[in-house]
Chains A and B, each alone.
Chain A
Amino acid sequence: MKPAQPPSSLVLVVDDDEAVRGSLKLLLKSAGLTACAYPSAAEFLAAHDDGQPGCLLLDIRMPGMSGLELQDELNRRGAIIPIIFITGHADVPMAVEAMRRGAMDFLQKPFRDEDLINRVTRALARDRHNRAQLEARDTIRGRLARLTPRELQVLRLLAAGKSNKQMAGDLGVSQRTVEIHRAHLMHKTEATSVAQLVRMLLVAER
């Protein structure tokens, strides 16, 4: 059977109820997903590595640190893992609050297996997309970091739509010098076009 996700993605489960936790783990496993479960928010935080791709299935109502409080803490830490809240039928207002604070989805228990798996699959896809974007941004930032201050200046003027002649005037240098800067820019950023170069600047500054 083909796994639904690359093995690197992990579904993290935080629920204080041992039976709910165990059954979720088995259900995810039966769908070809790898899960790792924690009985409390504190234990999850102690073990959590935000570099691990995956998604978080989080019980909203837990003794100690609640699901909402864990969400706050993760937001504070700038974690990017998508969160799916698991709620009881009376917790809908809480779930709405969780969505407002950036949760990706919520599931009311008991739920149908398709609902769980569809949502988890979606969350994992979102996580991969987010991580890919972050990685691309980091790559671009790395390349832009190679530029000299002067080259960066030329890049900004280029992004502002200035011609070589205007840039030469703005910078008080010859057009020839501007052309040399541009050639260095393209080389150092590995960009294949001016349009790509400008897009890189936008991504890097996001």
Chain B
Amino acid sequence: MTQSPANREVQALLDVAIDAVIIIDQRGTIESFNPAAEKMFGYGSEEILGSNVSLLMPEPDRSAHDSYIARYLGSGIPRILGIGREVAACRKDGSIIPVALAVGRIRDSDPARFVGFLHDLTIRRHAAEEQQHMRDRMSRVSHLATLGEMAGAIAHEINQPLAAISNYALACQRLLKRTDPAIAEIQDALQRISGQALRAAGIIRRVRSLVRARAPNCEPCDVNALIQEVSALIRSEARLQGVELSLEFAEGLPPVEVDGIQIQQVLLNLIHNSIEALTTVADGERRVTVRTAKTTPDELTISVIDSGPGVDPQLAGRIFEPFCTTKEQGTGLGLAISKSIIEAHRGRLLHLPNRPSGACFLVRLPVVDRAR
């Protein structure tokens, strides 16, 4: 079939259109079915041409469609024509998808012919769901982000039995100074002291198991994507402190099998530490760099590097120990918890001094073993 240049242009438009374009005659018979329509519905054009367009609709529209056209042709009152609305479409495999439909009558066509544009809304729906999913994830991360707050709550919990122990011990000393000490009362207080010491130990045990007990929810993750999310969370804090946060991603990294939230928690903690360390550094010199690299065939390394004063060499050997802190408000738990999280992932958390100054923390994670 030879085509005029105008026809060829129309054909090109139909072929490249992202939306499905379907042309029908006044009986609803499909005359034209573009590639996007083929993709949307799963029919080849050769098998659908000549069929009634109602085939592409679920009930009740399928049975009623002929009457919609008849009514329009009789009364001139359109149902969808020229309005456009969201309708359900039925694919070849029977699945129903939401589409935005716009229908127009081809001008001066007699007998009437109609053209329909259909836009697949599932993609938009997915995007909305994806966004919601991302928001949920972010809120979980920011919930976990506050290791400091968690440590504060733990400190309060431990303080209670300590206060009680201290009070009981002081009371015993006073009672013993009396000429006729009430031994039974003192014995009772001593028993309570040991009970409260056990209570404090129980709280500490719970804290230790907090990280381990939450079974890591491991799945293959892209570390660059994890870092991207974390940086979105902490960027405003960085800006507030005049810190330049840069990300240097290696491309084509293999996935790592990790609990993304836990790894993000660690990264957030490390970046947060770096930002805090930079407060003593002159404006314009405050830099934090997060870098990813494949360091060995089966290991990835995430480095968090800052231009701060670095870790005091005298403390360097102890920074991962619980309750080792140089911060006035610190609990000394952040790095300890971070280390146990990374080790639970069969990885390693290391510290190196940065040159000329600053600290560098390395998170080494095993890559997914594809041979397995």
Q: Say whether B152 contacts A23, CB under 8 Å.
A: no
Known pairs A1-B178, A88-B156, A90-B155; A20 contacts B164 (CB<8 A): yes
**Residue B159 is within 8 A (CB to CB) of chain A in the complex:** yes
Measured between alpha carbons, how far is A110 from B155 in the docked complex, in Å? Answer: 12
What does the 1/0 interface line of B173-202 toward A look like (CB < 8 Å)?
111001000000100010010011001000
Q: Say whether A89 contacts B192, CB under 8 Å.
A: no
Q: Say whether B164 contacts A29, CB under 8 Å.
A: no
Minimum CB–CB distance from A89 to chain B (whole Å) comes to: 7
For chain A residues 12-44, which have a beta carbon within 8 Å of chain B? 17, 19-20, 22-24, 26-27, 29-31
Measured between alpha carbons, how far is A185 from B174 in the docked complex, in Å? Answer: 55
- Nearest to A61 among chain B residues (CB) is B156
Size class of the contact patch on chain A: 20 to 34
Size class of the contact patch on chain B: 20 to 34
Q: Say whether A23 contacts B192, CB under 8 Å.
A: yes
Known pairs A19-B192, A26-B185, A90-B152; A109 contacts B159 (CB<8 A): yes
Q: Say whether A20 contacts B152, CB under 8 Å.
A: no
- Nearest to B159 among chain A residues (CB) is A88
Residues of B within 8 A of A22 (CB): 164, 192
**Residue B162 is within 8 A (CB to CB) of chain A in the complex:** yes
Measured between alpha carbons, how far is A23 from B164 in the docked complex, in Å? Answer: 5
**Residue B131 is within 8 A (CB to CB) of chain A in the complex:** no
**Residue A113 is within 8 A (CB to CB) of chain B in the complex:** yes
Minimum CB–CB distance from B174 to chain A (whole Å) comes to: 4
**Residue B17 is within 8 A (CB to CB) of chain A in the complex:** no
Measured between alpha carbons, how far is A27 from B167 in the docked complex, in Å? Answer: 6
**Residue B168 is within 8 A (CB to CB) of chain A in the complex:** yes
Known pairs A30-B171, A110-B166; A19 contacts B156 (CB<8 A): no
Residues of A within 8 A of B162 (CB): 110
Measured between alpha carbons, how far is A24 from B165 in the docked complex, in Å? Answer: 10
Q: Say whether A26 contacts B160, CB under 8 Å.
A: no
Minimum CB–CB distance from A160 to chain B (whole Å) comes to: 57
Residues of A within 8 A of B70 (CB): none
Q: Say whether A113 contacts B170, CB under 8 Å.
A: yes
**A20 touches which of B163, B171, B173 (Cβ 8 Å):** B163
- Nearest to B193 among chain A residues (CB) is A23
Q: Say whether B164 contacts A19, CB under 8 Å.
A: yes
Of the listed residues B152, B164, B167, the one surrounded by the most CB atoms of chain A closer than 10 A to its CB is B167
Minimum CB–CB distance from A19 to chain B (whole Å) comes to: 4
Q: Say whether A27 contacts B159, CB under 8 Å.
A: no
Residues of A within 8 A of B163 (CB): 20, 23, 109-111
Measured between alpha carbons, how far is A111 from B155 in the docked complex, in Å? Answer: 16
Minimum CB–CB distance from B161 to chain A (whole Å) comes to: 6
What does the 1/0 interface line of A42-62 toward B look like (CB < 8 Å)?
000000000000000000010
Minimum CB–CB distance from B171 to chain A (whole Å) comes to: 4
- Nearest to A24 among chain B residues (CB) is B167
What does the 1/0 interface line of B280-314 toward A look like (CB < 8 Å)?
00000000000000000000000000000000000
Of the listed residues B156, B174, B199, the one surrounded by the most CB atoms of chain A closer than 10 A to its CB is B174
Residues of B within 8 A of A110 (CB): 159, 162-163, 165-167
Measured between alpha carbons, how far is A29 from B185 in the docked complex, in Å? Answer: 11
Q: Say whether B174 contacts A27, CB under 8 Å.
A: yes
Q: Say whether B171 contacts A29, CB under 8 Å.
A: yes
Residues of B within 8 A of A29 (CB): 171
- Nearest to A26 among chain B residues (CB) is B171
For chain B residues 118-171, which have a beta carbon within 8 Å of chain A? 152, 155-156, 159-168, 170-171
Known pairs A88-B156, A110-B162; A20 contacts B167 (CB<8 A): yes
Report 21 cross-chain contacts, Cβ distance below 8 Å, ordered by A residue.
Answer: A1-B178, A17-B160, A19-B195, A20-B164, A22-B192, A23-B163, A23-B164, A23-B166, A24-B167, A26-B171, A27-B170, A29-B171, A30-B170, A88-B156, A88-B159, A89-B159, A109-B159, A109-B163, A110-B163, A110-B166, A113-B171
